[in-house]
């Protein structure tokens, strides 16, 4: 082959190699990039991930945690479920956690105000109150006003807990005063008073009444529309696995996780 022809052949081969490399790079970038909420797995997610979450998320997040681990081999999700106010206090006192999911913006604000959030919290679901009563509704409770009747024992969440703050808003909007026999530190504890037969009714989230449908009935009331709680989630600044925490938050916003939440009775924000 003449020298000029050989030079042209080499040049064309080099150009072709560069073009193929560029195409491969573009393909790889496209494959690892997904719109927010559209991916069920996250590249690079690994190791243990600790999530502090509101008690009302227990059932749904337990399932979401299992699904996340299946979609991201090598990850392990550990949950701490409690009242949002207690969790916020623990985070601000230095408890090691990667993600915080609160049942109300007010409790999330205590964490962001303390500078312990990495980024801006995102609302991922909302929840609404119902009146939980034992199966058969022996006290014939139908409205919030029925909770104020003599002889009706009521459990509420403590005022600093999101379900307690929502209950106070609903009662005020109905101009009803209720003196609870107990104030609990999270919604699960308030609901347990009904299932154990210790009270006649409790104001709990719709999702909790649905999860305990074999033991309780959930009575809807119109004033609950005035006390809907938005649930924000955020990665924590000092979390030991911030990358894993971000992957979990991304998964919570994805379609598979949102279906788990809506199936549990949560509403989209």
* 187 assigned binding-site residue: yes
**Is the Cα dihedral 33, 259, 87, 173 positive or negative?**
positive
CA distance 91 to 262: 28
* 56 assigned binding-site residue: yes
The answer to whether the CB of 222 falls within 8 A of the CB of 177 is no
Other beta carbons within 10 Å of 225: 12
* 205 assigned binding-site residue: yes
What single DSSP character describes residue 228? P
Residues 6+ apart with CB under 8 A from 107: 84, 85, 87, 88, 162
Helix or strand (DSSP H, E) at 100:
strand 99-101
Q: Which residues sit in the known binding site?
A: 56, 84, 187, 205
Q: Which residues sit in the known binding site for molybdate?
A: 56, 84, 187, 205
């Amino acid at each position: 082959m003449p020298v000029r022809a050989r030079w042209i052949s080499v040049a064309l081969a080099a150009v072709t190699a560069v073009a193929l490399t560029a195409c491969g790079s573009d393909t790889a970038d496209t494959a690892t990039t997904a719109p927010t909420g559209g991916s069920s797995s996250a590249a690079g997610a690994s190791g243990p991930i600790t999530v502090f979450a509101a008690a009302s998320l227990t059932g749904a997040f337990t399932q979401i945690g299992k699904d996340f681990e299946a979609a991201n081999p090598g990850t392990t999700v550990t949950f701490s479920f409690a009242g949002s106010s207690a969790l916020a206090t623990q985070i601000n006192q230095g408890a090691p956690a990667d993600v915080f999911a609160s049942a109300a913006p007010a409790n999330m604000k205590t964490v962001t105000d303390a500078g312990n959030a990495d980024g801006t919290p995102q609302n991922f679901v909302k929840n609404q109150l119902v009146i939980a009563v034992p199966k058969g509704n022996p006290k014939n409770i139908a409205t919030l006003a029925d909770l104020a009747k003599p002889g009706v024992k009521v459990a509420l969440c403590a005022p600093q807990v999101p379900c307690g703050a929502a209950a106070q808003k609903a009662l005020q909007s109905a101009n009803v005063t209720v003196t609870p026999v107990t104030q609990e530190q999270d919604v699960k504890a308030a609901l347990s008073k009904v299932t154990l037969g210790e009270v006649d009714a409790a104001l709990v989230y719709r999702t909790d009444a649905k999860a305990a449908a074999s033991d309780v009935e959930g009575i809807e009331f119109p004033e609950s529309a005035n006390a809907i709680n938005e649930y924000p989630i955020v990665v924590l600044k000092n979390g030991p696995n911030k990358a894993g925490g971000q992957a979990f938050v991304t998964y919570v916003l994805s379609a598979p996780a949102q279906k788990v939440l809506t199936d549990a009775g949560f509403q989209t924000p």
